[in-house]
């Protein structure tokens, strides 16, 4: 077939209208010529013999009549060993290599291979000639950091295939053939360590999807106990600017019980993205004692980059996450912030002159957000093992208004909601997740009946606090005042954590169950005080003693002594019938 070339008929920002003569299809990749530069674009609408394309670069210099080459392929990513430790842009260009070739400013129209084509990997086969395989089956593995990176049958192959040849154990690069497969009709397919996959098509080379049930331990107490996340679940973290969304995501990525972390900075301010890139290599992985980057992949598209690339970055990140899920690994994908992605959709929808929805967002906003979060989940693979993708997306509603369209569209598809509060943030109560507004459909790491009591007490405490603003302490009964103090105590010693303390900064599931059981007993204990000053002073001492207990390592004499001290203080204040 001859080359499919179109002509630019209109330019509106990063939206091109192109006239074509040969057939084109939705989401097809194309390249617009500007002198010697070729700008990558994607077909987003076809009307008769005209196609509308979104360009992933600055369109300065494009004119009517310029040539556009249609590739006949979808926007795809390279999948294979070497993805971890790397930092990519939304089109999977490695930023370090891109900077080396571009200089201070990234060069427009420069696209590089995502994987190192020359590096050799020590391949160990796990199948033999004559074995029957299908899409997603393991052919062998290579070492990648702390993992065995599985080399898989390409995901796009349909039906059963037979291994005709398999490479012996040895060193190969990602482009060398490591297997030759044949089907029942005699068709042959060469397999390398690298494969390409369209980013907007979910990888479904597994046996079945499972219901997320097992709690994902993030070691952030307010999340694991009050609004938990499940392995393979999806959740969102909306909050006003400066409330701590990015910091909470970084803490989660460091301490969560997952194998691989994929960070997608889809439109955050450049300063925050640069800080993430600088800080992650310095962070120590609690599991291995090595750099956290060894099991992390970062996809970044800052607010200063073209808006169309924000959408690409989201899909690139989730495709990489699905790829590692196919190896039987548990992956955590953190998108920050999906509001910027939605704003990019709004901008393109406006240029396409589509009928707008609420607040000028496209009418199909809900379905686009749902299709992204639905790519999370836990799956059973061909060998009986399971892999998971847990998706956590932050939302940045203007003014912290959770009623705006992006937040509401996200709430309809997620299983947990971690609403950050400006009031808690200003009061330095971190993490600033509001325990009264947040919720979860997943099971916590502690018994539900204990959580129910704590939530009820927190609500009662908040109601008493509101009442005290009107009538003052003198107009509040001793019983209500003690309820308020108990709620403040629970907030201070359990819902808040000291991220600068090695022990208190990350609390294991066993410790959460043990400590929360003791706190549950304290909250149920009826206490007797002569006046409100005595009650306040007691709880101040109890808060300090419990915070000291939080900083003591579990299974040590110090931990047992401080626990005994807290119990003794409560016993002295207890009222016995």
Residue set of the binding site: 239-246
pLDDT for the residue 282: 81
DSSP 8-state class, residue 284? B
Residue 168: phi, psi to the nearest 5? -70, 170
Distance CA(574)–CA(527), nearest Å, equals 4
- Residue 136 gets the label, from left (phi > 0), alpha (psi -120 to 50) or beta, of left
Domains with residue ranges and CATH for the chain? 4-74 (2.40.10.170), 121-193 (2.40.50.100), 229-440 (3.40.50.300), 448-573 (1.10.1140.10)
The answer to whether 490 touches 436, Cβ cutoff 8 Å, is: no
pLDDT for the residue 126: 96
Nearest one of 160, 154, 155, 166 to 134, comparing CA atoms: 160
Q: What is the pLDDT of residues 266-322, one digit of tens each?
A: 876 667 777 777 887 788 888 888 888 999 999 988 666 677 788 899 999 999 999
Q: Report the chain's mean pLDDT, rounded to a whole number.
A: 93
Residue set of the binding site for ATP: 239-246
At residue 77, does pLDDT exceed 70?
yes
Confidence of residue 553 (pLDDT cuts 50, 70, 90): very high
pLDDT for the residue 22: 93
pLDDT for the residue 218: 97
The percentage of the chain sitting over the pLDDT mark of 90, rounded to a whole number, equals 83
Q: Which of 194-198, 249-253, 412-416, 508-512 has the lowest average pLDDT?
A: 249-253
Q: What is the pLDDT of residues 127-145, one digit of tens each?
A: 999 999 999 999 999 999 9
Strand partners, 190: 180
**Residue 505 tokens, joined:** 């900064």
Residue 380 has a CB neighbour count (10 Å cut-off) of 15
At residue 1, does pLDDT exceed 50?
no
Helix (H) or strand (E) holding 370: helix 365-373
**Residue 212 tokens, joined:** 């997320």
């Amino acid at each position: 077939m001859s080359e499919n070339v179109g002509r630019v008929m209109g330019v509106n920002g990063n939206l091109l209208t192109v006239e074509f003569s040969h057939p084109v299809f939705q989401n097809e990749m194309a390249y617009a010529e500007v002198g010697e530069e070729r700008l990558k674009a994607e077909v987003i609408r076809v009307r008769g013999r005209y196609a509308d394309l979104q360009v992933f670069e600055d369109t300065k210099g494009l004119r009517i009549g310029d040539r556009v080459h249609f590739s006949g392929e979808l926007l795809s990513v390279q999948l294979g060993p070497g993805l971890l430790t790397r930092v990519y842009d939304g089109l999977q260009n490695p930023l370090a290599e891109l900077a080396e070739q571009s200089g201070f400013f990234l060069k427009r129209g420069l696209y590089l291979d995502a994987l190192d084509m020359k590096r050799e990997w020590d391949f160990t086969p796990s199948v033999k000639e004559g074995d029957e395989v299908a899409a997603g089956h393991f052919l062998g593995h290579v070492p990648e950091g702390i993992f065995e990176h599985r080399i898989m049958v390409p995901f796009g192959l349909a039906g059963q295939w037979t291994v005709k040849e398999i490479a012996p154990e040895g060193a190969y690069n990602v482009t060398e053939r490591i297997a030759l497969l044949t089907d029942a009709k005699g068709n042959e397919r060469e397999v390398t360590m690298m494969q390409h996959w369209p980013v907007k098509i979910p990888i479904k080379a597994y046996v079945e999807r499972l219901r997320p049930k097992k709690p994902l331990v993030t070691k952030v107490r307010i999340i694991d106990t009050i609004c938990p996340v499940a392995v393979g679940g999806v959740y969102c973290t909306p909050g006003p600017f400066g409330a701590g969304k990015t910091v909470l995501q970084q803490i989660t990525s460091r301490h969560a019980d997952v194998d691989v972390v994929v960070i997608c900075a889809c439109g955050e301010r450049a300063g925050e993205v640069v800080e993430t890139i600088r800080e992650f290599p310095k962070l120590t992985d609690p599991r291995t004692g090595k750099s956290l980057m060894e099991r992390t992949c970062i996809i970044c598209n800052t607010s200063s980059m073209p808006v169309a690339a924000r959408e690409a970055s989201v899909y690139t990140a989730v495709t990489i996450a699905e790829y590692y899920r196919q190896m039987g690994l548990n992956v955590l994908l953190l998108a920050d912030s999906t509001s910027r992605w939605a704003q990019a959709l709004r901008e393109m929808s406006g240029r396409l002159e589509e009928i707008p929805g609420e607040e000028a967002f496209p009418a199909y906003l809900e379905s686009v957000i749902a299709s992204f979060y639905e790519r999370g989940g836990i799956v059973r693979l061909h060998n009986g093992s399971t892999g998971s993708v847990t998706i956590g997306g932050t939302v940045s509603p203007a003014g912290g208004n959770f009623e705006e369209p992006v937040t509401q569209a996200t709430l309809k598809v997620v299983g947990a909601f971690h609403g950050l509060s400006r009031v808690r943030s200003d009061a330095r109560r971190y993490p600033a997740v509001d325990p009264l507004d947040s919720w979860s459909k997943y099971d916590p790491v502690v018994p539900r009946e204990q959580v129910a009591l704590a939530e009820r007490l927190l609500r009662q405490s908040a109601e008493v606090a509101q009442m005290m603003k009107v009538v003052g302490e003198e107009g509040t009964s001793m019983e209500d005042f003690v309820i308020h103090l108990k709620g403040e105590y629970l907030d201070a010693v359990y819902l808040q954590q000291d991220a600068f303390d090695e022990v208190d900064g990350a609390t294991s599931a066993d410790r959460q169950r043990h400590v929360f059981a003791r706190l549950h007993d304290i909250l149920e204990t009826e206490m007797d005080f002569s006046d409100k000053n005595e009650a306040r002073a007691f709880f101040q001492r109890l808060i300090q003693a419990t915070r000291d207990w939080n900083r003591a390592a579990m299974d040590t004499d110090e931990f047992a002594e401080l626990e005994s001290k807290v119990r003794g203080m409560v016993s002295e204040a207890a009222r016995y019938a």
